[in-house]
Structure 1
Amino acid sequence: MAGVGDMLNEARNSLGLGEPNKIHRWYATRNGSAFAAGSTPWCDMAITYWAFHSGNHRAVCPQGDRAYTVWHAQDFQRLGRWHSGTDASVRAAKPGDIVFIDWNGSNSVGAIDHVGVVEKNLGGGRVQTIEGNTDNRCLRRVRAADVIVGYGRPAYSGASSDVVSAPSGSPLLRRGAGGDRVFQLQRALLKAGEKLPTFGADGDFGAETEAAVKSFQRKAGITADGIYGPQTAAKLAAAL
């Protein structure tokens, strides 16, 4: 089942992408030659592309494909899934949220210039994003409330639900894995009291996630090998 982790992994696959690129070509094929490479900004095309290729198109683009950021933000407003860009609101942003930006800091939806997907909440009213068409490339950026008009929260399925549960232990999850099950595992570990101090739940099974799994395994009295399988899944489900 698609979810936040899949959306973020698809965005990460585009990091470093320049122009012309696959996103323009794909969007032009679906929506007409007017969107061919070089003819229009592609930041929101990138969001649409990542959503479609990660299985999250309905959640991220609830009114269909978007290349125009204002219309995309209005889609979230109409569905009641819009959060303002105040400092307090940005502090509550989550990975997978679609963040809309006005370089002039107007906080007006009609003035939105740019869009990205939240990869991490850095605290203090700042988020780390992945964005297309930033310096004509796909790059990670750090954005703060002063330029964020607001963000839409897609109705992701699977692990992005507010209900926290342990993912299946098969197939095994270990360091280097990624995707929706890893995101679900990370949320479950956090709920069980483990720590992921730097990255939080981001869908990447890195060193901190491995350490959190080992910590949980030690507390549960099972082999602390950092690999998430059926035995660890059963213990984590019981803990939750």
Structure 2
Amino acid sequence: MPRPSELLKEMTRYLGYAEPAGGRTVFGASFRERKDLRPTDAWDKGAWCDMYVAQCALAAGGKDMLAVVGDFAWTVGHAQWFKDNGRWHAGTAGIRAGDIVFFDWAGGKKIDAIDHVATVEKVHSARDIQTIDGNIGDSCVRNRRTNACVVGFGRPAYDGRPSVPNLSLAAVLAELGDAPGFPGTVQQGHKGANVRRVQEKLRRRRFKLGPAGVDADFGPDTRAAVRGFQESQGMDATGVVDKRTWVALWEARLKA
């Protein structure tokens, strides 16, 4: 069953994600695939603040987490769902980490005017909260916010026990979307953010990274995982992340 810390941990993995130039996001594509929606571009290139919340819930805790956090693309519908289920709270009194908070940038207090949704990461006071947001400046970011534009918040039915994610489903959905710009060859001996991004994609595709896991250090275990991925895609198994491998880590579908 779900814990708020699991959702927040997953959301932090995407901090720094930027919407690709073509406007097609992993969050929109995931939502559209899951719901079997058409036309494709309306979802893949749509406003994605709420679909980001859904994607992270699914990856963090599978269907159990998604069922309590909500699986929505429309912020108004999401807030109304919380209200219909007796889990809606107006304003910010009693707000806490893991709550799903809804905003009206015009300062109104009605659900049908909501513009944006985020997830509460920290509460400094009822007037000062820290959130993790998607689709702010086309990116995933942290924000400090006052209560001025908050309409209210929904409290998912967390129960404090660990979730059991549907890793295979999350892995498939997490790979949808355009790859970020190729940063240059990533290979054994390299360290840093680009190595971590490669490792995260390998982990989501269920390739073993050895005891160190995702550590931003491209060692022999990561090289072996890259080779395994390349073989699965019919590429030369060099163990070096070239441009073709980089793109495939994001865009290639998992094989059955």
The residue correspondences of 1:80-119 to structure 2 (distance < 5 A) are 80-85=86-91, 90-119=92-121
Aligned to 1:7: 7
Of 119, 122, 125, which aligns to 1:120?
122
How far the C-alpha of 1:28 sits from its partner, in A, is: 2.1
Q: Equivalent residue for 2:68?
A: 59
Matches of residues 191-206 of structure 1 in structure 2 within 5 Å? none
**Mapped contact 2:95–2:126 kept (Cα < 8 A):** no
- Conserved 8 A contact 1:19-1:37: no
Name the structure 2 match of 1:44: 50
SS state at 1:158 partner: coil
Confirm or deny: 8 A CA contact 1:130 1:140 kept in the other structure.
yes
Cα RMSD (Å): 1.6
The 2-side partners of 1:114 and 1:131 are apart by 9
- How many angstroms does 1:52 deviate by? 1.1
Q: Distance in 2 between matches of 1:17 and 1:113?
A: 21
Amino acid at match of 1:155: A
C-alpha offsets along residues 42-88 of structure 1, whole Å, 9 cap, x if unaligned?
A: 00001111111111111101xxx200000000000011111101xxx
Conserved in 2, the CA contact under 8 Å of 1:128 and 1:142?
A: yes
Q: Structure 1 residue aligned with 2:147, among 130, 134, 145?
A: 145
Distance in structure 2 (CA, Å) of the matches to 1:81 and 1:112: 17
- The TM-score normalised by the length of structure 1 is 0.60
Q: 1:125 to 1:91 in 2, by over 3 A?
A: farther
Q: Whole-Å Cα distance in 1 between the matches of residues 10 and 126 of structure 2?
A: 27
Count of residue pairs brought into register by the alignment: 152
How far apart, CA to CA, are the structure 1 residues paired with 2:122 and 2:104?
A: 20
Q: Deviations over 1:78-101 (max 9, x none)?
A: 11111101xxxx242110000000
Q: Indicate if the aligned counterparts of 2:50 and 2:134 stay in contact, CA closer than 8 A.
A: yes
- Measured after TM superposition, the shift of residue 24 of structure 1 is 2.0
**2:109 & 2:127 partners in 1: Cα distance?**
15
Partner of 2:131: 129
Aligned amino acid, residue 106 of structure 1: G
The letter for the 1-side match of 2:105 is W
1:191-230 matched pairs, under 5 angstroms: none
How far residue 2 of structure 1 moved from its aligned partner, in angstroms, is: 3.1
Matched with 2:226 is: none
- Gaps of at least 5 residues in structure 1 are 161-240
Which position in structure 2 is the counterpart of 1:71? 77
TM-score, structure 2 as length reference: 0.57
Comparing 52-61 with 103-112, greater Cα deviation is found at 52-61
**Residue 28 of structure 1 contacts residue 34 of structure 1 at CA under 8 Å; is this kept in 2?**
no
Structure 2 SS opposite 1:129: strand
Question: Structure 1 vs Structure 2: percent identity of aligned residues?
Answer: 39
| Counterpart-to-counterpart distance in 2, 1:92 and 1:127 | 11
Q: Which runs of 5+ in 2 are unaligned?
A: 163-256
Contact 1:129 1:143 in 2 (8 A): yes
